[in-house]
Structure 1
Amino acid sequence: MGLVVSRLLDRLWGKKEMRILMVGLDAAGKTTILYKLKLGEIVTTIPTIGFNVETVEYKNIQFTVWDVGGQDKIRPLWRHYFQNTQGIIFVVDSNDRDRIVEAREELQRMLNEDELRDALLLVFANKQDLPNAMSIAEITQQLGLQSLTRRAWYIQSTCATTGDGLYEGLEWLAETLRKTGRD
């Protein structure tokens, strides 16, 4: 009973909650991003088979972030995480020019799912610290983001290892959530 009252008070005056699905191709940096946000430090990661889930608090919003593995064999499982998702963080390895088309195909396939029709889209253009990283403009064009006229989206330059850009992305999610009344 106390938990119910606490959650009710949080909804009315306190914390808002947002369910986030973080996906992208394997080795894009999803798990590194998750734990940089959660712990503020870099952790040694291995390829995610399955998922990691953590709660990250930012500006009175409790983000429940589901980090789902990106290997091609397990991408069909992404759909099992779509229900009740309010925001998608799609992580792109800005240095991986060879797989940007594959990333676009996966993103478009996911955005066509009915369960995600109202979800906000935040693209983290990760690994921007690398010398041959694609620019934000190039990634925007390669992913076809400009054609998303019926969905709120934003692309943020990031570096998971330093944390650069991560909180700016959460800021966009928080503000867009407030503006659209999806909280």
Structure 2
Amino acid sequence: MDLKYKTMKVHMRDLSGQWRMRQSWHTFFPNTNALIFVVDSTDVSRLAEARCELCDVLLDERMSQVPLLVLANKQDVYGALPSSMIIDFMGLNRLEGRAWNIQECSTLTGAGSFSTIEWIYKSLKKQRPQSRIQKILNPTFLFSQMCPLDCRRPAVDV
């Protein structure tokens, strides 16, 4: 999907979270200037898995300088975890040397859409005036290094 926002031309790719598709995601890393990682705020049982999947992506050298935006989706659903709890569950506060943010959103209602693209715009403007954005949903790769998110730690119970 292509869109223009202010002075930035954005090319977004939505990569499926299905297991079969995960093996090819690394092929998109060389052209990635920003990472949007979507988590289901209502599915506490999968946050540990999401943490490990995100960690695997962040460990790839090609992604080392890429700004990260975590979208806490389904905020329109009763019982959705607030972003502060997702930060804790996923260990996002352990990330150092990387621009990152978390936004609450709802793809159903569109809530959070403007702040999402605005944060990406500001982050990329600091790095490059013209950038391409890849959108990656729940990427998974083999864990082989020390994860800054400590993905081997069990998820905290709520």
Instruction: Tell me how far 1:182 sits from its aligned partner.
Output: 6.0
CA distance change for structure 1 residues 144 and 88 in 2, over 3 Å: closer, same or farther? same
Aligned to 2:111: 164
Aligned to 1:81: 28
Aligned to 1:150: 97
TM-score (norm 2): 0.78
Residue type of the alignment partner of 2:120: L
More strand by share: 1
Between 1 and 2, higher relative CO (CA 8 Å, sep ≥ 6) is seen in 2
RMSD, matched Cα: 1.2
Of residues 91, 114, 121 in structure 1, which corresponds to 2:38? 91
Instruction: Tell me how far 1:169 sits from its aligned partner.
Output: 1.0
Aligned to 1:178: 125
Instruction: Tell me how far 1:167 sits from its aligned partner.
Output: 1.5
- Describe the superposition over 1:68-113 as per-residue Cα deviations: whole angstroms up to 9, x where unpaired: 1101232121101111210000001101111111100000000000
Which runs of 5 or more residues in structure 1 are unaligned?
1-53
Aligned to 1:107: 54
Give the conservation status (yes or no) of the 8 Å contact 2:8–2:129: no
1:42-61 correspondence runs (5 A)? 54-61=1-8
Of residues 61, 64, 74 in structure 2, which corresponds to 1:127? 74
Matches of 2:108 and 2:31, distance apart in 1: 29
- Describe the superposition over 1:148-171 as per-residue Cα deviations: whole angstroms up to 9, x where unpaired: 111100100001111110110110
Rg bigger for which structure?
Answer: 1
Aligned to 1:3: none
CA distance change for structure 1 residues 121 and 182 in 2, over 3 Å: closer, same or farther? farther
More helix by share: 1
- Identical columns (%): 38
TM-score (norm 1): 0.68
Instruction: Tell me how far 1:60 sits from its aligned partner.
Output: 2.4
Matches of 2:24 and 2:125, distance apart in 1: 30
List 4+ stretches of structure 1 deviating above 3 A. 180-183
